Structures are given as structure tokens and as C-alpha cells.
A and B are shown apart, each in its own frame.
Chain A
Amino acid sequence: MSLTSAIPGNLAAEDTQHLAIVFEDVALAFDDIVVLDGVSFELKRGETKAIFGIAGAGKTMILKLALGLIKPDRGHIWVLGHDVTEMREEDLFELRRKIGMVFQESALFDSMTVRDNVAFRLIEEGDVPGDELDKRVREVLRFVELERTIDMLPSELSGGMRRRVSIARAIITQPEVILYDSPTGGLDPITSTTIVQLIVKQRDVYKTSSLLVTHRLQDAFTMATSYFDTKTNEMKPIQPGSNIDVKTSFLILRDGKIILDGEAADLTATKDEYIKEYIA
């Protein structure tokens, strides 16, 4: 476990090649409001890191910074070995094709059908024939159990269904990194569990690295204590004594700084009063 900043300064690009995402002393402020202040952490390849914090703690900003959608005021961010803080917007588009993002409000294109939303990346890449495209869209919609909605518009779907379509859109090209922004926020417990199961499935079946912003501690604990059984096609709890490593860690933000970066055991064993209150 590491408390607060753990990454040494002045990382070279080659030091970040084996890591999915590295934040090094990142600061961000809007006018006089400090959102992030010297945030440093790393996400290993294949690892899932759940980010917690109260509303306005800068969790979503971490995801947007990682995608290069906004630039930090200070610090460096490496994604798959590329320093996104130094890259031009035109160069970032190529890198973003290796990253999937599930937005908080789904951000589906409301004038396109589910098929066109999910296939957007493949259509843009332009080298996938029509029948292959249709096959891949159906395959990924089957993964999120929404194949029947293929010809529907986003406005015809429920909030949970839109979130699942958003996940399908993010994973259709099997990106190396997925960023989830509150994927279970505002959903009922049953739909939330379905989405957590999808995230666990993506983590365990495809070994995708991911950052997961969430308010729901129980979702992250479920992820840290469960694995996806490909034989039965369902999520199962890890039995005590089992050697299954689900590579899930926790990161807590407070006042723009990281106050915990560790595993589930570190979280439960913490002596920090704020964290104890947070997880209570």
C-alpha cells in the first residue's frame, strides 16, 4: 500500500511502457478552485483501479485527463507509454482508439440507432465489411445482453440499458484500457449488479486494464472479491484460500490529493478516520 504520491518524479517514456496509465504530480484547477493537487499513481496492465471520493473530488477529471480531453495545469500523464500531456489533439485521436470510455450519462449519439452507436468506431475505421460489422455489433450486444435493442434509438432505452450500450460501444474494438465513469450511478441494485458483472467479465476474460470511478463502495468490493467463471458464464465469489488474483485496487481522493492507493485489505485495515467514515 502507498499513501499519497508514490511515483518518483521525471519518469522516462520507456519506464511507462509496461504500465497502462501513469499520473505524475498532476494538478488541475478551474479559476480559483483546485480540483487535483499533485496526484500521482499508476495503473498496471490488466489491473482495475476503483477511484472514490465525494462529489466534486475530481474523479471524472482523472478520466478526462487520461483521455487527453483536458490538459492538466502541471504534471505528466502517460497512457500506454505515450505522454498525453505533450501530444497534439490530432495525434491523440490515434491513441484514443486503444482506449474505451463509458461516460457517466452514457453520452450515446441520440440521433443514431444502437447499431450505429456501437459500430461507430468500426465505421470510422472504415475497413470492416458490412456483414462483419453487423456480426461484431451483434456479438458485443450479446455480451451486454441487449441484442434485441439493435434497431432502437437511445431515447427508447432505460438508463441501465443505455449504460450497457455505452459499455458495448467502448469494448467493440477490445481496447487495451477502459475508463468507466460511474457506470452504476443512479441505477437499481439488480441493474448495478449486471453492470458490475460485465466489468468483471471484461477484466477476467479480456484482461483489460481499467479505471473505474464510482460512489458505490459495495460495487468495488464485489469486484475485488469476485471472479468471472467462463464455464458457467457468471460472476462467482472468490473462496477463502483460493489463489485467484483479480488485480483490483482502490484509490481515494480528498481535497485534490490521494489519501489511499492500495488493495481491499489496505482499505479495511486503514487507521485514517476519514477513510473509516467513508467506508462505514
Chain B
Amino acid sequence: MELISPVDIAKQMVMAVQDYSQLAARSLSNVFRRPRYVADTLVQMDQVGVGSLPIVVLTGFFTGAVLALQGSNTLDRFGSLSLIGQLVSISMVRELGPVLTSLMVAGRNSSGMASELGSMKVTEQIDAMRALGTDPSKKLVTPRVLSTVTMLFFLTMISDLVGLSGGAMVSTLMLGLNSNQYWSKAWQSLVWQDVTMGLTKPIIFGFILSTIGCYYGLSTKGGTQGVGKATTQAVVAASVLILVVDFFWTRLLMTMIGS
């Protein structure tokens, strides 16, 4: 096996960050340039939004349910079981709703984008598109980014709501709490800082997971094996980046708008 010098590895990493940044910036600036691919964006919205709905609903529901189940143990020790609605709503809206929804959509769609664009790259379809006078970043990347950002925003809202319902089901059916008490606690405990934090995250995470998927797809090399590698790398990179950015964004918002 040929050894690569650390300098070359560092250069490759800097180049990769530069290429990714350029692609991400172009995907945004294309929104203000013609032509705009409205039909392609709607198709992607269907694939990302409607296609991801079942897994997002299932994930959200069982996350809310297990939160209520786990939280009840601790809260019961302090005689505060009635606060379970507050625990579930704040955890879901601020953190678990956006993060878990983004991770699920990353697993489903970053991989899908990387494999689709990667296959197009290795079969020269991307070059053919450029040769035919069409900018792949406008036709392929921007519609995917726009649709993912938009749909992840709504998917997160659905996930939050379904998660709260999961928590409600466990609270009423298994813990014997009053349903009205659960929902009123859940509703009253939420303040605008929670909602701001919870609904800005899917916008950022949607941008990350779609641009990462497109970046790995468009930089695929080496045939079908390369497509497989790009797909795996896209999911891993998007998931890790979502969790890292989540920490820093949470910290930043806590400083800016208070906790």
C-alpha cells in the first residue's frame, strides 16, 4: 500500500473544505439567478418531504413516548410526575425533534443524493449536462437544498407534535396522568426562545445534509465502488456535522436570546 504524506493529506482536506464551501455558497446564490428550476424543486420536495414522513412520524412518536417513560422514573422520585408534559415538550421542541428528524432525513436523503449524483458523475451525465450548457449546481444542487431546507422545517414541526402525542399516550395510558394536565403543562412551559431554537435548527441542518449529500455525489470518483463510498461518507459526514453544529448553535442561541 502506498503511503501518503501528512502534508498531502492536509492539502486534500483543505481542498475538500474549499470545494464544499464553494458548492454551498453557489447553491445559495443560485436562488437569485435564472434559470430557476421550480418543477425540479417540487419533485425533490415530494421525495424529501412526503417520502420521509413515515420514518419521521415513527421516530418522533417513539422518542416522545420513551422520553415520558424514562423521565417519569426520575420525576416520580421528587413527586413531580405532573411535570412530565413540560419535560417532553421542552426536550422535543428544543433538541430531539430537530436533531433526530435531521439525522433520519440525513440517513435517507443525503445518501440518496450522493448515490444519485454520484451515479450521474461516474457515467459522465454531469459532464454531459455541462456540455449541453446547463449548470448542474443550478439544476441539481439548488433544488435539492431548497426543498430539503423547506421540508425539514415542516417535518420537524410534525415530529415535535407527534413526539408530544407519544408522550401523552404513555403519560395517560401507562402513568395514569390526566390528559388535560399533560397538554396544558406541555403548552405553557414552551416560550419563544424554545420555539426559535427548535425551528432554526432544521433550516441549518437541512442546508448541511443536502449540501453534504450533493458535494459527495458530485465529487465521486472510481465507478460503482466510488458511488458506494460517497454514499457512506455523505451519511457519516452529515450526521457528525449535524451533531457538532447543534452544540455550537445551541450555545450561540443561549448567549444571544437567553436559555
Contacts and interface: CB of A to CB of B under 8 A. Distances in A.
Interface of A: 64, 67, 69, 89-90, 93-94, 96-97, 99, 101, 103-105, 107-110, 120-121, 124, 126, 169
A110 B128 CA distance: 12
B35 A96 contact: no
Contacts of B124: 103-105, 107
A67 B131 CA distance: 7
Contacts of A109: 120, 125, 128-129
B117 to A, nearest CB: 12
A136 to B, nearest CB: 15
Contact of B133 (A69, A94, A108): A94
Contacts of A124: 35, 132-134
B132 A169 contact: yes
B131 A90 contact: no
Interface residues of B, number: 14
A110 B127 CA distance: 14
A103 B122 CA distance: 13
A101 B127 CA distance: 10
Contacts of B246: none
Interface string B121-149: 00111011111111100000000000000
B35 A93 contact: no
Interface in B200-216: none
A105 B134 contact: no
17 contacts: A69-B130, A69-B131, A93-B130, A93-B134, A93-B135, A94-B133, A96-B132, A96-B133, A103-B124, A104-B124, A105-B123, A107-B125, A108-B125, A108-B128, A109-B120, A120-B132, A124-B35
A268 B139 CA distance: 48
A107 B127 contact: yes
Contacts of B129: 109
A93 B30 CA distance: 14
A101 B131 contact: yes
Interface in B8-31: none
A165 B141 CA distance: 26
A105 B120 CA distance: 12
Contact of A107 (B35, B128, B133): B128
**9 nearest A-B pairs in the assembled complex, by CB-CB distance:** A107-B128, A97-B133, A107-B124, A101-B131, A96-B133, A93-B133, A124-B134, A103-B124, A121-B132
A156 B207 CA distance: 37
B5 to A, nearest CB: 14
Given A124-B35, A126-B35, A103 B133 contact: no
Contacts of B135: 89-90, 93
Contacts of B128: 101, 103, 107-109
A227 to B, nearest CB: 29
Contacts of B132: 96-97, 101, 120-121, 124, 169
A173 B132 CA distance: 10
A103 B128 CA distance: 8
B35 to A, nearest CB: 7
Contacts of A110: 123, 125
B35 A103 contact: no
B129 to A, nearest CB: 8
